[in-house]
Structure formats: C-alpha cells, structure tokens
Amino acid sequence: MFFKKRDKVKKRVVCPIPVIVELIQKLYDDNCGMCEFDMRLENSNSIYKVGFTSDFDRKRGFFDPIFFLDEQKFTAIEDFMAQARLNGEIFSQMADVVEVVDVDGGQGLVKFPWYVKFEDYVVE
C-alpha cells in the first residue's frame, strides 16, 4: 500500500502482524462492519487476505460477522484469534513483519481512521 506524499514519491507500509490484528479487533469492536487487509510476508511474493465482513440490515445494523484469513473462515473473533493459521502458526500470535499491499476499510474509514495507524509504518 502506498501513501502519496507532496513530492509524489510513493512509500510502502511495512508493519508487524500485531498491528493488523489490533486494527481488526478495533474495527470489529467499533461495529464497522468489515475490513480487509491484503498483505505480503517479508521475502515472499504470496498475498494473503485477512479481515472480516458482516451482513447488514437497517433494523439490525451489522450482524453475523465472518472473520477470515485467506480460505479459513470463523464466525467469532475469539475463534479467529485462537485458530487462524498462516504458514502453520497462529496468526494472532505471529510477530512477523508484513507489507500491507491494499486495504478495504469499508465503513471503518468513517468510524475509525485506520490509515492513521499505518502512518507510523511508512518506509521508503
């Protein structure tokens, strides 16, 4: 993911996995409805998708969230945090560094400006 600066130089966002996990938790807690982070582990070309999505109804608001890490799906954030695996390791416990390639924050952008968190992790 790139942030454009005034000098039109693009910069990459590289952060530890716990930052992604924290953002997913925050966006879920704030009832944002969905978020998706496309990320790449350092020294890898594979792109992984992680986040959650929810159904929406005007009367009920957001409901029935599905948390995902690529093809793995969980109906509760606790299950996601305890069971989602990336390369055999529990994702929420990994400390690896990833490059954030793309983000879809949905309504989360309005309720919680997640991009501000990434400003601390912009690299040349």
Q: For residue 59, is it within any domain?
A: yes
Does residue 64 sit within a domain? Answer: yes
Number of domains in the chain: 1
Kindly state whether residue 5 falls inside one of the protein's structural domains: no
Burial class (CB in 10 A: 0-12, 13-18, 19+), 92: buried
- Residue 89's pLDDT is 97
Q: Is residue 2 part of a domain?
A: no
Low-confidence ranges of the chain (pLDDT < 50): 3-5, 108, 110
Distance from C-alpha of 95 to C-alpha of 113, rounded to nearest angstrom: 23
Q: Identify whether 93 is part of a domain.
A: yes
pLDDT attached to residue 6 = 52
Contacts of 7 (CB under 8 A, 6+ apart): none
Q: Which domain holds residue 68?
A: 11-119
Whether residue 39 is contained in a domain is answered as yes
pLDDT of residue 92: 97
Whether 3 is covered by a domain: the verdict is no
- Indicate whether 74 belongs to any domain: yes
- Predicted model pTM: 0.84
